[in-house]
Amino acid sequence: MNSIVPLFRGSLSIMVPVFFAALGGLFPALAGSLNIALEGLLLAGAFSSLAVFYFTGNIAASVTAAICASLLLSLLHNFAVFKLQANLFISGLAVNLFSSGICIVLSDKIFKTRGVVTVNGVPWLLNWYLVIGAIFLIISWLAIYKTPFGFRLRACEKNSQSLIALGINPHHFQKTAVLISGFFCGIGGSFLSLNLGAFVPGMSAGKGWIALAVIFLGAKKPFGILIAAFIFAFTESFSNYAQGILNIPADFILAFPYVCTLMAMIIVSVVERKNN
């Protein structure tokens, strides 16, 4: 019992940023404009929130800063894709690279270090983020399935011509979906750094990419995403816990959650192909 509680708590801590990134990424995925910049958006949110907390000590201001930073990058991504007609995936990769580089540059200018930046006095926030996540999960489900916005958003991928015939521009919904993903990634990124009480270069550590996998593992449904995010988080938490128990090379244990994710994606792909 003593080992289950920290394992479960660790799973929830790992799940929060992945869940928020995946929930945000669900909207552009449904609109047919998959946002692969989730990794960079998480990282920008993580740095911005810690920087603001370092100077203000205010959680609300820190989370707001994280959201604003991710939204700015989302606007840049939208401008490149929908205004300059850049390739969707190349633009997303560029945002990821830009975010990684600009965070290090700003850290060097503000904190005089390209390494770890730490702060003290950050309160325990996991419960608050879980409550906020539950609220946004319900709001997202309602928005996607019970509002005209959700119907039109889902029509962008397969029935865009029908929208155009009705005088509706699918790009408006796709751009809005990217901004929504930036909003959620900002929240998820703020948890990454505030929960740790530090910013570490590259601390998103592939969670944005995992979030993309979680979207499809969750069958592009909000509650499916919640389950998929928790399963991944649990396997990663278990791998961290198992390093001190099992007599297995650490590299194999650390790879366990990613292997599970890969296997799950293969199984889901096979099932979907058979159903089709």
Within a domain: residue 225? no
Whole-number Å distance between alpha carbons of 87 and 237? 36
- Comparing C-alpha atoms, which of 212, 164, 262 is closest to residue 28? 212
Between the two ends of the chain, the Cα-to-Cα distance in Å is: 44
List the beta bridge partners of residue 117.
199
Q: Is the pTM of this model over 0.75?
A: yes
Per-residue pLDDT of the chain in tens (276 residues, 90 and over written 9): 456 777 788 889 999 999 999 999 999 999 988 999 999 999 999 999 999 999 999 999 999 999 999 999 999 999 999 999 999 999 999 999 999 999 999 999 999 988 899 998 888 899 999 999 999 999 999 999 999 999 999 988 878 777 888 788 889 999 999 999 999 999 999 999 999 999 999 899 889 999 998 998 888 999 999 998 998 888 888 776 666 555 555 555 566 666 766 676 667 666 666 766
The phi and psi torsions of 248 (rounded to 5 degrees) equal -130, 140
Number of domains in the chain: 1
Q: Please, which residues have CB within 8 angstroms of residue 223's CB and are 6 or more apart in sequence?
A: 137, 141
How many other CB atoms sit within 10 Å of the CB of residue 165?
A: 9
Whole-number Å distance between alpha carbons of 191 and 45? 9
Within a domain: residue 257? no
Q: Please, which residues have CB within 8 angstroms of residue 7's CB and are 6 or more apart in sequence?
A: 234, 237, 238, 241
Query: Could you give the 3-state DSSP secondary structure of residue 117?
Result: strand
DSSP 211-272: HHHHHHHTTT-HHHHHHHHHHHHHHHHHHHHHTTTS-S-HHHHHHHHHHHHHHHHHHHHHHH
Within a domain: residue 268? no
Task: State the alpha helices, DSSP H only, in 79-169.
Answer: 88-111, 126-145, 148-158, 160-165
Within a domain: residue 223? no
Token pair listed for 100: 């990684």
Within a domain: residue 179? yes
DSSP 122: P
pLDDT of residue 13: 92
Distances (CA, A) of 153 to 22, 65, 173, 195, 221: 17, 27, 6, 33, 14
How many other CB atoms sit within 10 Å of the CB of residue 166?
A: 9
Within a domain: residue 264? no
Q: Domain of 158?
A: 15-208
Whole-number Å distance between alpha carbons of 101 and 95? 10
Within a domain: residue 233? no
Whole-number Å distance between alpha carbons of 157 and 94? 24
Within a domain: residue 230? no
